[in-house]
Amino acid sequence: MTKVTFVEANGTEHDVDARNNRSLMQAAVQNGVPGIDADCGGQCLCATCHVILDEQWYSKLGTPDADEEQMLAPTPERSPTSRLSCQIQVTDELEGIKVILPEFQM
Protein backbone atom coordinates (compact mmCIF):
# COMPACT_ATOMS: atom_id res chain seq x y z
CA MET A 1 0.00 0.00 0.00
CA THR A 2 1.14 3.50 -0.84
CA LYS A 3 -0.26 6.75 0.44
CA VAL A 4 -1.71 8.93 -2.32
CA THR A 5 -3.58 12.23 -2.02
CA PHE A 6 -6.07 13.19 -4.72
CA VAL A 7 -7.06 16.86 -4.75
CA GLU A 8 -10.31 17.82 -6.44
CA ALA A 9 -10.47 20.99 -8.52
CA ASN A 10 -12.37 22.64 -5.64
CA GLY A 11 -9.58 21.79 -3.21
CA THR A 12 -11.18 18.82 -1.43
CA GLU A 13 -8.48 16.29 -0.53
CA HIS A 14 -8.84 12.51 -0.52
CA ASP A 15 -6.12 10.46 1.17
CA VAL A 16 -6.18 6.90 -0.03
CA ASP A 17 -4.11 3.78 0.53
CA ALA A 18 -3.38 2.73 -3.01
CA ARG A 19 -2.54 -0.87 -3.89
CA ASN A 20 0.85 -1.33 -5.45
CA ASN A 21 1.13 -2.56 -9.03
CA ARG A 22 -2.26 -1.18 -9.92
CA SER A 23 -2.76 2.11 -11.68
CA LEU A 24 -3.38 5.47 -10.02
CA MET A 25 -6.67 5.54 -11.92
CA GLN A 26 -7.74 2.30 -10.20
CA ALA A 27 -6.74 3.70 -6.83
CA ALA A 28 -9.04 6.67 -7.40
CA VAL A 29 -11.98 4.68 -8.74
CA GLN A 30 -11.79 1.94 -6.11
CA ASN A 31 -11.69 4.49 -3.32
CA GLY A 32 -14.62 6.47 -4.66
CA VAL A 33 -12.66 9.61 -5.51
CA PRO A 34 -14.92 11.69 -7.76
CA GLY A 35 -13.69 13.29 -10.97
CA ILE A 36 -12.09 10.33 -12.73
CA ASP A 37 -14.42 8.69 -15.25
CA ALA A 38 -12.03 6.18 -16.83
CA ASP A 39 -14.48 5.39 -19.61
CA CYS A 40 -12.13 3.02 -21.44
CA GLY A 41 -11.23 1.09 -18.31
CA GLY A 42 -7.52 1.95 -18.35
CA GLN A 43 -6.44 1.29 -21.92
CA CYS A 44 -5.19 4.78 -22.78
CA LEU A 45 -8.10 5.18 -25.19
CA CYS A 46 -10.38 7.83 -23.68
CA ALA A 47 -8.39 10.44 -21.70
CA THR A 48 -11.12 10.68 -19.04
CA CYS A 49 -8.61 9.83 -16.30
CA HIS A 50 -6.61 13.03 -16.76
CA VAL A 51 -4.65 14.27 -13.72
CA ILE A 52 -2.10 17.00 -13.10
CA LEU A 53 1.05 16.48 -11.05
CA ASP A 54 3.40 18.97 -9.53
CA GLU A 55 6.65 19.45 -11.36
CA GLN A 56 8.75 17.34 -9.04
CA TRP A 57 6.54 14.31 -9.22
CA TYR A 58 6.12 14.79 -12.94
CA SER A 59 9.82 14.66 -13.64
CA LYS A 60 10.30 11.79 -11.23
CA LEU A 61 7.78 9.67 -13.15
CA GLY A 62 9.17 10.26 -16.62
CA THR A 63 7.39 11.71 -19.62
CA PRO A 64 4.29 10.14 -21.18
CA ASP A 65 4.89 7.86 -24.16
CA ALA A 66 3.66 8.72 -27.67
CA ASP A 67 0.26 7.02 -27.32
CA GLU A 68 -0.46 8.76 -24.05
CA GLU A 69 0.71 12.09 -25.42
CA GLN A 70 -1.65 11.77 -28.38
CA MET A 71 -4.65 11.10 -26.13
CA LEU A 72 -3.67 13.85 -23.69
CA ALA A 73 -3.24 16.53 -26.34
CA PRO A 74 -6.90 17.53 -26.78
CA THR A 75 -7.89 17.41 -23.09
CA PRO A 76 -9.42 20.75 -22.11
CA GLU A 77 -7.22 21.53 -19.11
CA ARG A 78 -3.99 20.16 -20.48
CA SER A 79 -0.98 21.41 -18.53
CA PRO A 80 2.75 20.72 -19.00
CA THR A 81 2.59 18.26 -16.10
CA SER A 82 -0.56 16.42 -17.19
CA ARG A 83 -0.76 12.63 -17.22
CA LEU A 84 -3.33 9.93 -17.77
CA SER A 85 -3.64 8.26 -14.41
CA CYS A 86 -4.31 4.82 -15.90
CA GLN A 87 -0.77 4.91 -17.28
CA ILE A 88 0.91 5.39 -13.90
CA GLN A 89 1.68 2.34 -11.78
CA VAL A 90 1.51 2.68 -8.02
CA THR A 91 4.83 1.69 -6.41
CA ASP A 92 6.56 2.42 -3.11
CA GLU A 93 8.30 5.32 -4.80
CA LEU A 94 5.03 7.18 -5.07
CA GLU A 95 4.58 7.37 -1.29
CA GLY A 96 3.04 10.75 -0.46
CA ILE A 97 2.31 11.81 -4.05
CA LYS A 98 -0.22 14.61 -4.60
CA VAL A 99 -2.44 14.20 -7.63
CA ILE A 100 -4.56 17.13 -8.81
CA LEU A 101 -7.79 16.49 -10.63
CA PRO A 102 -8.94 18.81 -13.43
CA GLU A 103 -12.33 20.47 -13.22
CA PHE A 104 -13.59 18.60 -16.27
CA GLN A 105 -12.66 15.39 -18.04
CA MET A 106 -12.73 15.08 -21.85
CA pseudo-torsion sign 94, 95, 101, 106 = positive
Binding mask 62-101 for ligand FES (x = CB under 6 A): ---------x------------x-x---------------
- Number of residues lying near ligand FES (CB under 6 A): 14
Among 1, 9, 45, 73, binds ligand FES (CB under 6 A): 45
Out of ligand FES, another protein, none, what residue 7 binds, judged by CB under 5 to 8 A for its kind, is none
**Strand ranges of the sheet holding 13-18, from the earlier edge strand across to the other edge:** 13-18, 2-7, 97-100, 50-53, 82-84
Out of ligand FES, another protein, none, what residue 56 binds, judged by CB under 5 to 8 A for its kind, is none
d(CA 19, CA 10): 26
d(CA 96, CA 40): 27
**Where do contacts with another protein occur on this chain (CB under 8 A)?**
37-41, 43-48, 67, 70-71, 73-74, 76, 103-104, 106
